[in-house]
Amino acid sequence: MPNRRLTKDELSGLALPLLSHIREKIVSLSRGDVQLAWAIRRKIYKELSFDERRKPPQRKKLKAQKRKEQGNKCALCGGELTARYAVLDRIEAMGGYTKENTRLIHRDCDDDYQRSKGYT
């Protein structure tokens, strides 16, 4: 299933006004304190990314489960995974980081796969 994308009307009528609202709210809440505005913006950014990607300890745990389940082999090429630089890949982006929707793959295999799909 392809990723859900916003329609032109959803983008202009929903997402962009919400983004403007958040930006205005950060400015008003920080009352000219540039460092506070930065800290609020960073916190909002992080929390929203966790909404999509889950928190790092959850991803780390899932990565370890997938490594064990796959016998430490890359799900794409079947080669041995290194201790680092393995990518927890979502089979469908909208499916989230669940056991059923992820696979552990080499970073290079991920790059090749992304390129073959036209994502990079």
Round to whole Å and give the CA distance between 11 and 29: 25
Cβ proximity to Zn ion: between 13 and 79 the closer is 79
- By the 8 A CB rule, do 111 and 119 touch? no
Q: Which residue of 66, 74, 87, 104 would you call a contact of Zn ion, by CB under 5 A?
A: 74
Contacts of 93 (CB under 8 A, 6+ apart): 3
Residue 106 interacting with Zn ion (CB under 5 A) = yes
Q: Which residue of 86, 89, 109, 110 would you call a contact of Zn ion, by CB under 5 A?
A: 109
Residue 77 interacting with Zn ion (CB under 5 A) = yes
Residue 66 interacting with Zn ion (CB under 5 A) = no
DSSP calls for 50-107 = HHHH--HHHHHHHHHHHHHHTTTB-TTT-PBPPSS-EEEEESSGGG-S-STTEEEEEH
Q: Which stretch binds Zn ion (CB under 5 A): 31-39, 41-49, 78-86, 96-104?
A: 78-86
Rounded least distance, CB 74 to Zn ion, Å:
3
Rounded least distance, CB 106 to Zn ion, Å:
3
Residue 75 interacting with Zn ion (CB under 5 A) = no
Half-sphere exposure of 108 (CA within 13 A, CB side): 6
Binding site for Zn ion (CB under 5 A): 74, 76-77, 79, 106, 109
